[in-house]
Structure 1
Amino acid sequence: MAEFLIGRQQIFDKDLNIFAYELLFRGKDFDLTDKDGATLATNQIITDSILEMGLNSLVGPHKAFINFTTQNILEKTPLNLPSDRVVIEVLENVEIDLTVTNNLREFSQQGYTIALDDFVFSDEWYPLLEFANIIKLDVMAMGEAKTREVIKDLKPFNIQLLAEKVETREEFQYLKEAGCNYFQGYFFHKPNLVAGKRLGVNQTAAMRLLTVINNPDVEFADLSKAISQDVGLSYKLLHYINSAFFTLPSKMESIQRAISYLGLKEVRRWSNILTLATLSDKPEVSLQGALIRGKMCEELGRLIGEKPDHFFLVGILSSLDTILDIPLEEAMQQLPLASDIKSAILDKQGLAGEALECVINYERWNHSGMHFKNLDQLLISDAYYKGITWAKDVLGNL
């Protein structure tokens, strides 16, 4: 396990497909606000994320934005990384001089993508526009009027624009129309609420199935019957159980046998996952986020000796609002969940609720909230990494 807390944040294109991830990191043994500490941190994340963990495990086939300090650029650290996978992000506190400019130009000539964070028109930064590929705009700090003005000023240059700290769908819409190419922020994790929205026929049927699956008093026969009556789910569940993901000694040909072999809890888990996959017409990243959240909650529960399946359910169902585009309270009303599960999801109460709050803070990279009981933060970071790799494996077999 890396001696670093490692996170990531999605960067979307105009169609809300994942374009890249920004890798986030925090050192345990030195101060990242210090210049030397930040340089060491960048060097360490390169070692941890690419050499040890594997870049594909963290970002899949997508690009990775990595922040580089002045010293990193002077030492030509980026040249240790694959040019087709890494975006060199130049932070606003980088001290731009002739040597730094020339090194960045060299990186560009060797095929690296160069992104300028919080770019401002100034004498020292202006030359970077000759070869930079992406400019990141902090739309929260600038506000809409200033953002529109900057976008207009940058249009003459052959540069793509990435709007960061996008909080709402309305912001995403105006930024897309104004000319931004990429988007980063929490807007995607929030439901796109529409007054009076009704669930589609397939979604209603899926919610009914979730009702049976998550009934705390459900019996073996009732769960088997409910799954078997849904031909699509029955087929998908058997197909998934018989996939390489499970490596079973013999083929499962019936739901009854699958439940007998795997147990009620395990079949309930996979039924939840497969049913959630049918609920959303959004990009795969919505389900991916729910899976990571569920698995990370499960890992936190396991680490403190609590029921992992209970924590998993709290984590995965807490994303229903984003998946369905309805308020979370409304989604919870439609499911016969135990009161402690509902209170954990809606009010962050109980141990599972505290774990969920920790996970959400980790997703948002809110350092002050990235704690749970007496767990070392490195264990929490490792739980997040396990969630990423597990979700990748699950989606690869769906």
Structure 2
Amino acid sequence: MHVFMARQPIFDKKNNVIGYELLFRNGYENAYNSVDGNEATLQVIANSFYEFDFKAVTDNKKAYINFTEKLIKEEIATILPTENVVIEILETVEPTEEIIDACKKLKEKGFTLALDDFVYDKKYRKLVEIVDIIKVDFLITKGFERKKIFDLLEVNKNIKFLAEKVENVEEYNEAIYFGYTYFQGYYFSKPVILSTQTVSPNKNTALKIMKLINDKDFNYADLETLILQDVSLSYKLTKLINSSAYYIKNKITSIKYAIAFLGEKEIVKWLYVVLLHDLKERNPEELIRVSLQRARFCELICNMSKYKQKAFLAYMTGMFSVMDAILNCSMDKVIQDLNVFDEVKDALLGEENELNTILKLAVSFGRGEWEDSEAYAEKIEADINQISGVYFDVIAWVDNIQYE
């Protein structure tokens, strides 16, 4: 399945790109389709952080992302890296005390705040005192309005003004003359459509997780179990936690540690974003099935071998072994996105190590290649008869996950 988004560059006075506004798209048509604003923002966040390489999408520059009133109140922004994101407060957001307080918290955390499509009204004064950037839509404003906006410097001397929807050289020159700092619009560049392949969560697992995290006393061990049973969520969480969005010295390979690292509130917000984004979509069912079978089988094989301490790595090796087919890309690209432990990486790329042998055993056994299976079992000091005994348990386990 393909996912889409768009980005439009934002320039400074020297025509340097200082950031990109990330925009919702659901196809190759370069236009915003009429969807719910909350859904659009959740999809932009999910796509830019969990589907694409965020660092590549933004060229290491700031990402400008629209936020609705609901998402500001729910503090969804706190799952994003503060130094890389500008929160655009949409013009539909009412500046209530609750919103003012939420914006102050975001500022305290280090986020840059921008007011989108701003038209001055006294009710926005408290917001103006907080924000860093004010965006003025040159398509719907007139010259005197574009200039008068600078009166707001009396309220906040640190505000920068961004002229958006600049369509021609005359409007650009006018913005320069008035003192605008940043510029965006078709005069410089149209939004560029980005597309990539994705894998979506199993619907039943997704619904179970949504039910679980809505229970205020839910058990994190249960959450870990459910995530491990889903190829998509395991892939996306592993990819996110080891990405440039988080500055982690040592790679995290355990879903349990990933959940602990993000913390109670952040993991729930992350799941909320990913699950609402993906619940409507489905993947090639048989490939998902094979992925789960291999994951569980590799884990059980490992537990029967002399490498019991590597059972989790074996599980992840099996799970990601068909990710190239699911995403229709090379295994090199999958590995690059995941940034997994070298041992898992080497196994997936076909290099000889314990995890690769366990994977080969799982694959050969599934294909009925008994001589190869016995050879691989002997190599890791596992009993082939024991392995035979759990194979059908693995199939039943996958059926239980996907269809119960």
TM-score, normalised by the number of residues in structure 1: 0.44
When Rg is computed on C-alpha atoms for both structures, the one with the higher figure is 2
Normalising by structure 2, report the TM-score.
0.44
